[in-house]
Amino acid sequence: MASNKKIQELKKRREEVLKGGGEKAIQKQTAMGKMTARERIIQLLDRNSFNEYDLFVEHEARDFGMDRKKLHGDGVITGTGTVNGKPVCIFAQDFTVAGGSLGFMHARKITKIMDHALKMRTPLIGINDSGGARIQEGVNSLAGYGEIFFRNTLNSGVIPQISVVLGPCAGGAVYSPALTDFVFVVENISKMFITGPEVIKTVLGEDISMEELGGARVQSEITGNAHFYASTEEECFKQIKRLLSYIPWSNSEPLVHREVHEPLKKYNISKIVPADKKQPYDVRDIIRAVTDGSDFFEIQESWAANIVIGFGTLNGKTMGFVANQPLVLAGVLDVDSSDKAARFIRYCDAFNIPIITFVDLPGYLPGVAQEHAGVIRHGAKVLYAYSEATVPKITVILRKAYGGGYIAMNSRHLRADFVFAWPDAEIAVMGPEGAANIIFRKEIEEAKDPEKVRKQKVQEYIDKFANPYVAAAKGYIDAVIEPRETRSVLLHAVEVSGNKTVGMPRKKHGIPPF
């Protein structure tokens, strides 16, 4: 048994390291409205579940006076704990210790816990709050980043990886969050960029603040780098716990099972979609009208809002929902919404989460800006992701399904397992106005009253093609259903797909249009 003296020594050593960067630095951290790294871990994990490792790790740097500097824990806290009663691996950079700068041993602590997460098949949560590379350690700190990025890639699709940006995360450091599955940011606290405002000012003469360049709102509304936005750190931790309540712990874990409640009465599915195809509505109400308890956890709510993605449950099992949003940009597919949907589809497929797709879109967004931004290449991501996914894939066409948009949105042709359509659905190459103008161009041009003939021809087209029965006659749609039948039809389709087995040709990996 250890002598009392030795136990006292251990306690003393622990106390010393737990001081972090010292009182002054902690005061500074608090003054910025930020929790300390340790407080964050304790808030996020289940009560008393945190077990810390590598508490006594020290850096080995010798140059520039570093040999005389002691950095507690080398600026990062690592360990394991539980969330919702299940094990996770976690690290949190400690800004109070040398600005959370990343040195060689700091990185080694992180990579050690990352390796652990992969081996034990637990999610990895990384809390980033760091001034960047520890310049005194030179290329060794770059090596540290590289080792982290490599492991992020290796872990990708095997275990969930969550990045929480709670402070600056600049330069190369931002590539770790970018390689992970979900990035959380908090207003006024998170700052992400490759080159900071100072460099931009000197090199380019552009004057911009950190917040305007890469703050939480910019990352969640303009760039799409962040998936979840919160006003406070507490709210952010609640979001993380909620996310972890939907996703499987690894790619070999079965789906989470949650309590089943009927959808709320206030979401009356028969009354949400306006009959006039030009009128908008919020497609999230459709999702809430079918999910258990009308619960829907939206991802990237504010970026590329013309497509909606997120998790909900059907009969207690997690589903990934993808839906065109007529409320924003008429629900078109464009560069950003294609990118957003494709990545989410691949996430669901990697973790065996069935995908439910709601379709109501006029097609791809026209315009020089879109073409020059590469909408061909980005739009192709949706086709690739749906085609490649082997999880159960179920589609409901609510209203419009035109042209390339129809094909892209998990059509039968991309191997959807079930395609349903509402009686109002229109499956056609394009909208009636555009189609009539092309098919009957000559007749319209040569008519005495072109406007009258045009209207007639549009109506003719509507009568003939603006319905789901042309596609149903070819078997491209499995069933035309009443809106109120949607939930029961989906529940059944999911149940029937429980043992879905399909093969893909042998390959090392495909080459998606990144």
Residues of this chain that bind other proteins (CB under 8 A): 203-208, 212, 217-218, 221-222, 277-280, 302, 304-306, 326-332, 336, 362-363, 365-366, 368-369, 372, 402, 430-435, 437
Minimum CB distance to other proteins smaller for 33 or for 367: 367
| Neighbouring C-beta atoms of residue 504, cutoff 10 Å | 9
Minimum CB distance to other proteins smaller for 122 or for 219: 219
Minimum CB distance to other proteins smaller for 178 or for 369: 369
Minimum CB distance to other proteins smaller for 7 or for 369: 369
| Shortest separation between residue 256's beta carbon and other proteins, angstroms | 30
Nearest-angstrom CA–CA distance, 170 and 195: 7
Nearest-angstrom CA–CA distance, 134 and 351: 36
SS3 for 324? strand
| Shortest separation between residue 215's beta carbon and other proteins, angstroms | 9
Minimum CB distance to other proteins smaller for 120 or for 328: 328
| Shortest separation between residue 181's beta carbon and other proteins, angstroms | 23
Minimum CB distance to other proteins smaller for 58 or for 212: 212
| Shortest separation between residue 368's beta carbon and other proteins, angstroms | 4
For residue 95, the number of C-alpha atoms closer than 13 Å in the C-beta half-sphere is 27
| Shortest separation between residue 332's beta carbon and other proteins, angstroms | 7
| Neighbouring C-beta atoms of residue 106, cutoff 10 Å | 29
Residues 6+ apart with CB under 8 A from 107: 141, 143, 144, 145, 147, 148
Minimum CB distance to other proteins smaller for 207 or for 262: 207
Residue the block writes with tokens 């086709």 = 383
| Shortest separation between residue 510's beta carbon and other proteins, angstroms | 29
SS3 for 303? coil
Nearest-angstrom CA–CA distance, 59 and 345: 42
Are residues 83 and 46 in contact, defined by beta-carbon separation less than 8 angstroms? yes
Minimum CB distance to other proteins smaller for 218 or for 256: 218
Are residues 160 and 188 in contact, defined by beta-carbon separation less than 8 angstroms? no
Nearest-angstrom CA–CA distance, 477 and 473: 8
| Shortest separation between residue 480's beta carbon and other proteins, angstroms | 23
Minimum CB distance to other proteins smaller for 234 or for 433: 433
DSSP category for residue 364: B
Nearest-angstrom CA–CA distance, 487 and 491: 6
For residue 321, give the H/E element and its range: strand 317-324
Nearest-angstrom CA–CA distance, 450 and 323: 38
| Shortest separation between residue 205's beta carbon and other proteins, angstroms | 5
| Neighbouring C-beta atoms of residue 453, cutoff 10 Å | 17
> CA dist 223 to 19, 163, 217, Å?
37, 16, 9
Minimum CB distance to other proteins smaller for 277 or for 288: 277
| Shortest separation between residue 452's beta carbon and other proteins, angstroms | 16
| Shortest separation between residue 274's beta carbon and other proteins, angstroms | 10
SS (H, E, C) 444-467: HHHCCCHHHHHHHHHHHHHHHHCC
